[in-house]
Structure 1
Amino acid sequence: MSPQPSESFEVPTVDITPYVQGGGADDRAKVARAIDDACSRVGFIQILGHGIPDTVIDGLTAAVDDFFGLPMEVKREYRVVGANRGYSPPKSESLSLSLGVESATRMNDFFEAYNVGTEARSFPDLDLSEDDYGLNLWPDVPGFEDRVQAYYAEAGRVARTLTRIFADALGQPSEFFAGLTDHSIDVLRMNNYALPEGTVDLDGDLTGMGEHTDFGILTVLWADRVEGLQVLGRDGIWHDVSPLPGALLVNLGDLTARITDDHWMSTLHRVKPPVVDGRIRRRRSVAYFHDGNVDAVVSTLPEYAGPNPYEPVLVRDHIKAKLAGSRHGKKNTAAEREAARVLAAAGETRS
């Protein structure tokens, strides 16, 4: 008999207003304790009090709609081969391979995306390579760049606020994460689940976005309140997750799990096609990936190290291996712990 989802599973909700608006020490300590609890039990958090104006989010979603509403032949003009920038058409990626796991359906992920991010020239005093940071390609869509940049700045502020909370929650100096992220290779990925709306008979288990963990420090996610996102709980069951009204979803990436030797969880998640009552519904999401400095070495904190801690890793090497899996079809052989969890959820063992 298949295991049943635990009724106790939830994504904890944390209001970070005391950090955003300069609350007192007691209020900030309460937030830090709640974050520690959420990160150690689930690895996903519903964030309220983030302070992003509704007008900025409305501008972002309008920009997303304007771009993805273009004809496919126009969108394909913005594809950048070999870079984490520009347009990715449907079925051009396979995120399960970033963990070294092949999807049972052998199908690439059925979503389209557009990526922008921090450029090397954003840090003129540092000798950074465009091979690591990339140049943005902005589509010729009126107001697209301005609206996306406005949200990008706000999401980055939220990410940096969260790393200050993380430092407090882990008992580290308040600027602990700043040393790992002061020239972080951040990326904003706008996703559109591109199956046409309407009634559909699915032939097999179609994948919207395959099971994966995120690569870096943390991810700030805006998403429609449409079914599709699923999180793998400690019970080995995939649970549906939808953002609360006005909330952002935040999840930890692999590098934070390494820092805490999995005391804090880089949680596996996936997106199933948004099929409700036999009909496909459109789903959009926008993820801000706060991934760390390309030249930083991430090690486990001594006070969290278990008997078999993670080996130190250069952020550049870690990101490169993950992207080689998702975009170039090469299994990531350095993701043994994550791959084991995927296979256990599928009732398989790894040879």
Structure 2
Amino acid sequence: MFVVPTVDISAWVEDGSAEARAATVEALDHACRTVGFMQVVGHGVPAVITDGLASAIDEFFGQELEAKKEFVRPPAENRGYSPPKSESLSYSLGVDPVSRMNDFFEAFNVGASAADYPAVALSEQDYAANTWPSASFQDCVEPYFREARRVARTLTRVFSAALGVDPSFFEQLTSHSIDVLRMNNYALPPGRIELGADLTGMGEHTDFGIVTVLWADRVAGLQVLGADKVWHDVQPAEGALLINLGDISARLTNDQWMSTLHRVKPPVVDGTIERRRSAAFFHDGNADAVVAPLPGFGEPLYDPVTVKEHIVAKLSGSRAGVKNVAAVREASRVLAAATAEHDR
């Protein structure tokens, strides 16, 4: 049976006992090796912060499309507004979608800018400044960004313990991390999209970086590819954050930890799409960090690559339509799942 494990990280948030911390490490390691997703509780994010985030999402996406398009930025900057059908996440894996740039979700991105790391000389191309639609939007989103970053950094401390590396390993890897918060909306007025049996809310993909912290409505839509090559429905448990690993973690562990494929296939009820909101915080690592399998994790399956090189290749696929031909291992899993689904 496919199950997304629940992991309580309160012992690492609140400086718990050695026994409680060890139990968290064991549970997290098991989740990373078997599913690549987990329901994290004990994270300490106040409800008032997530409520504020939800209100900001409602405020922005409730506008007319033309008003939202004022905040479109060049794809390489990974900031601002992405209109419906301007992306195709499966292209980030080098997999041809049914039609190019067909994912119907809309999104708004903010992230860590060069100004956030004043002690380091960073390119604004890699750490772009943010565009804020309104002061009220910024006032609600920034507190959640800080909380999600705290959760991500707490998780990487647990990662260090689980992988048996120096406790400072991930601190060095993320000292000027590319961090992005992507707020997604999966509800569009009738006539804006073509409703059909193969409607794609967000195409199958793996996340790019180290770890993703996801807040989402408890609405069906998210599907995770299990080891059985079957897509399973997943939604956050009450009060939990959904956590999944990204490609950088898979590369570091030589695929012993899983960067799991997932997608969004939204429910269509009476010809309309049930609304679903989500906000994914991507903790990706330093742009200039070189990532390769850690010693002791077997014969390397991946060549060394910088975080920037990896992310640019995937963004060029999903947002600029340039097929990512380097994602050979990931693409093979998508195609195998498609074949299994067809055979059933």
**TM-score normalized by the length of structure 1:** 0.93
Partner SS for 2:182: strand
Matches within 5 A, 1:133-148: 133-140=127-134, 142-148=135-141
CA–CA separation in structure 1 for the residues paired with 2:267 and 2:133: 27
Corresponding position of 1:273 = 266
Corresponding position of 2:46 = 53
Corresponding position of 1:289 = 282
Work out whether residues 97 and 325 of structure 1, in 8 Å CA contact, stay in contact via their aligned partners in 2.
yes
CA–CA separation in structure 2 for the residues paired with 1:106 and 1:119: 30
Matched, 1:255 2:248: yes
CA–CA separation in structure 1 for the residues paired with 2:115 and 2:194: 48
Matches within 5 A, 1:199-214: 202-214=195-207
Work out whether residues 92 and 323 of structure 2, in 8 Å CA contact, stay in contact via their aligned partners in 1.
yes
Matched, 1:336 2:328: yes
1:121-166 Cα distance to aligned partner (Å, 9 max, x none): 11112110000010100003x5110110000000000000000001
Aligned length: 338
* Post-superposition offset of 1:32: 0.3
Q: Residue 17 of structure 1 aligns to which amino acid in structure 2?
A: S
Work out whether residues 201 and 278 of structure 1, in 8 Å CA contact, stay in contact via their aligned partners in 2.
no
1:265-289 Cα distance to aligned partner (Å, 9 max, x none): 0000000123257652100000000
Partner SS for 1:342: helix
Corresponding position of 1:113 = 107
Partner SS for 1:155: helix
Partner SS for 1:227: coil
Matched, 1:322 2:314: yes
Work out whether residues 208 and 314 of structure 2, in 8 Å CA contact, stay in contact via their aligned partners in 1.
yes
CA–CA separation in structure 2 for the residues paired with 1:60 and 1:217: 23
Partner SS for 1:9: coil
Matches within 5 A, 1:1-351: 8-82=1-75, 83-106=77-100, 108-140=102-134, 142-196=135-189, 202-276=195-269, 279-306=272-299, 308-347=300-339
CA–CA separation in structure 1 for the residues paired with 2:284 and 2:101: 27
CA–CA separation in structure 1 for the residues paired with 2:184 and 2:194: 23
CA–CA separation in structure 2 for the residues paired with 1:134 and 1:183: 13
Work out whether residues 299 and 312 of structure 1, in 8 Å CA contact, stay in contact via their aligned partners in 2.
yes
* Post-superposition offset of 1:217: 0.3
Corresponding position of 1:5 = none
1:305-335 Cα distance to aligned partner (Å, 9 max, x none): 23x4211111110010000000110111110
Give RMSD over aligned pairs. Answer: 1.6
5+ long unaligned stretches in structure 1: 1-7
CA–CA separation in structure 2 for the residues paired with 1:185 and 1:106: 27
Q: Residue 198 of structure 2 aligns to which amino acid in structure 1?
A: D
Which aligned runs of 4 or more in structure 1 are off by greater than 6 angstroms? none
1:173-208 Cα distance to aligned partner (Å, 9 max, x none): 22211111010010000000132379x993340100
1:82-108 Cα distance to aligned partner (Å, 9 max, x none): 320000000000110000001135551
Question: Between the two proteins, what is the percent identity of the paired residues?
Answer: 63
**TM-score normalized by the length of structure 2:** 0.95
1:199-232 Cα distance to aligned partner (Å, 9 max, x none): x993340100000000000000000000000000
5+ long unaligned stretches in structure 2: none
